[in-house]
Amino acid sequence: MTGDPVAGGGKNQKKRLERPLRDCARPPFALEHLQQRDAGHRAYHYPKPRPDGPRDLVLTPRELIDRIAAPVPRPRRITFGRSGQV
C-alpha cells in the first residue's frame, strides 16, 4: 500500500477524487473582492450583479465571521473523552 490515494485506483478513482480535493483547496470567498471600509466595516464586492441590486455587501467583522462560519457543520459527537471526574 502506498501513501498515494490515486496510485492503485486508476483513471476512474483519480476523476472521483479530483473535484472534492479541488473544492477543499478553494477558499470560501475570493480575497481580492474583500475591502476594508470606514470604522472597521468590510465590503465584499460581488463580481456579477445580484438580483436585488447592490453589488457590495457591507458587514461588520463579526457579521463577516458569522457568514464564513455558517456553512461549517457542528460536530455530531462530543470531541473530548469522559473520565467520570467532575
Cβ 45 vs Cβ 31: under 8 Å: no
The pLDDT score that the predictor gives to residue 2 is 53
pTM beyond 0.85: no
User: What confidence score (pLDDT) does residue 1 get?
Assistant: 45
In tens digits, the chain (86 residues) has pLDDT values of 455 554 555 677 787 888 777 777 777 677 888 889 888 899 888 888 778 878 888 889 898 888 887 777 777 766 566 666 55
